[in-house]
Structure 1
């Protein structure tokens, strides 16, 4: 298993999937092991995916100081990986909560970014996040699904304050464009792949300074792709569009009938969209 040493001495691991030009991939969760990314819908046939296990997840070691789970304190880990790989600039892809880490990295090291691909990504680092109203809006588009009533009931109980595992598991279908066997198997791995303690600290107080990050990304020279799922709530496509407006060279792609994991819902379309962006003449 390839690995490297972070600045604080924590041993970190990354997984290499496929061959070709490198694409550094940051997982979401937050703090979920990168295994759930799989081969990103076959993207590994076109790029060598370097999937980082964030500290305390997957094959990476648990840090001595839990405070280093905070998102902004993991920016140094991404930079250490870049240096370890010997890359002057990186093509960086981030999913979900990994979007915050990628945005903070871009704000701190803007000249190290060649391209930035944000897949159904959060943007708390820029002061934009999804809300309960966003969740309800996306859910309302899926009332015809056979699982809707049970899943929405679980949503309602969680919004009311339920901490029961059954309720949190019960609305997983909303995160997928198709709640089929593959989606259910994918969802079933979330708990075992996630460091819950680290997840609680990831976005804790002090992690984000949106005004500072916005000022930097407003001058970012790198091209940026925001890929949203048409039926995803985090972010809604219109929220992803608002994030795109904060960059000088950003584009938005909304994948039809896709949820929070678009490479599972339509692998070919996902791969074609990402590769068309990455391969575009710079």
Structure 2
């Protein structure tokens, strides 16, 4: 089993795939609390490049640290640097999905000399979760003709009211899943099911605690913007989980970044528009090598 020992002796699992050479592409999953298996091969990127998929600490096949504070997204950037060193790579490309984009941005800010290009796929924001509630409401309301809409909308209403047990919240949250996809059919349902591992109950809070540590929000944003790493930001036009606002904020933060909104995608565009997703990401990464 491929693993490495990170800075605090926590054993972390990774998988190196593909036959590509050159700069490795480090892939960071989201959740938080999901391991890399739900990413599959990212519409073929994992086959064609030297791709390295990481299970973050306390998820999947990686170890659980004794100090829960090290699960904060700000701290997990140290795991990415340890992985780069383990691979013996002078520079890397980094791709984060959803919550993993927070770790990716932290790493690029801390080690700009090590990151050649940065790809943020449906990011949750710049320094924390930053969706626009009005946009989310509009995206969900626009799905009213779907056969699953009534149960999803009712679950959304009950969750907004609050006062629910953790178990009931979990049950109702599952009904929201179709909102997160452009289409909710056998293919997307199978892709969703592959990624639903059980997360530790404390992990989410510990991960987002990074928003309240080390520096103020303004200082963190200034630090991220100063990295000057070339950035590609991808959003799904039908992403009823977080909308497009967080991607727009992330793109605006990074000078010279490129924002692409995939028209027939939700939160996982490599599943719903694999050809377009692969073309955009591969083209962005290949441009750094001077390839056509």
- TM-score, normalised relative to structure 2: 0.89
Task: Give the unaligned 5+ runs of structure 2.
Answer: none
Instruction: Spell out, residue by residue over 1:88-146, the C-alpha distance to the aligned partner (whole angstroms, 9 max, x if none).
Output: 12100000001111111122112211100000011241x66114433212212222222
> Residue 124 of structure 2 contacts residue 246 of structure 2 at CA under 8 Å; is this kept in 1?
no
Q: Tell me the distance in 2 between the aligned counterparts of 1:87 and 1:14.
A: 15
Aligned length: 281
Q: Tell me the distance in 1 between the aligned counterparts of 2:159 and 2:150.
A: 14
> Residue 107 of structure 1 contacts residue 213 of structure 1 at CA under 8 Å; is this kept in 2?
no
Q: Tell me the distance in 1 between the aligned counterparts of 2:115 and 2:267.
A: 24
Residue 283 of structure 2 is matched in structure 1 by 276
Q: Secondary structure at the match of 2:44?
A: helix
Residues 193/276 of structure 1: CA separation in 2 closer, same or farther (3 Å cut): farther
Residues 238/131 of structure 1: CA separation in 2 closer, same or farther (3 Å cut): closer
Q: Tell me the distance in 1 between the aligned counterparts of 2:268 and 2:253.
A: 24
Query: Offset at 1:46?
Result: 2.2
Query: Offset at 1:191?
Result: 4.2
Residues 189/209 of structure 1: CA separation in 2 closer, same or farther (3 Å cut): farther
Residue 179 of structure 1 is matched in structure 2 by 184
Equivalent residues in 2 for 1:74-93 (5 A)? 74-93=76-95
Residue 145 of structure 1 is matched in structure 2 by 146
Query: Offset at 1:9?
Result: 0.7
Q: Tell me the distance in 1 between the aligned counterparts of 2:116 and 2:278.
A: 19
Query: Offset at 1:239?
Result: 4.0
Q: Secondary structure at the match of 1:195?
A: coil
Residue 58 of structure 2 is matched in structure 1 by 56
Q: Residue 206 in 1 paired to residue 206 in 2?
A: no
Q: Secondary structure at the match of 1:142?
A: coil
Q: Secondary structure at the match of 2:84?
A: helix
> Residue 28 of structure 2 contacts residue 104 of structure 2 at CA under 8 Å; is this kept in 1?
yes
Query: Offset at 1:209?
Result: 3.8
CA RMSD of superposed structures (Å): 1.9
Q: Secondary structure at the match of 2:43?
A: helix
Q: Secondary structure at the match of 2:261?
A: strand
Q: Tell me the distance in 2 between the aligned counterparts of 1:94 and 1:193.
A: 20
Residue 6 of structure 1 is matched in structure 2 by 6
> Residue 28 of structure 1 contacts residue 97 of structure 1 at CA under 8 Å; is this kept in 2?
yes
Equivalent residues in 2 for 1:118-129 (5 A)? 118-125=120-127, 129=130
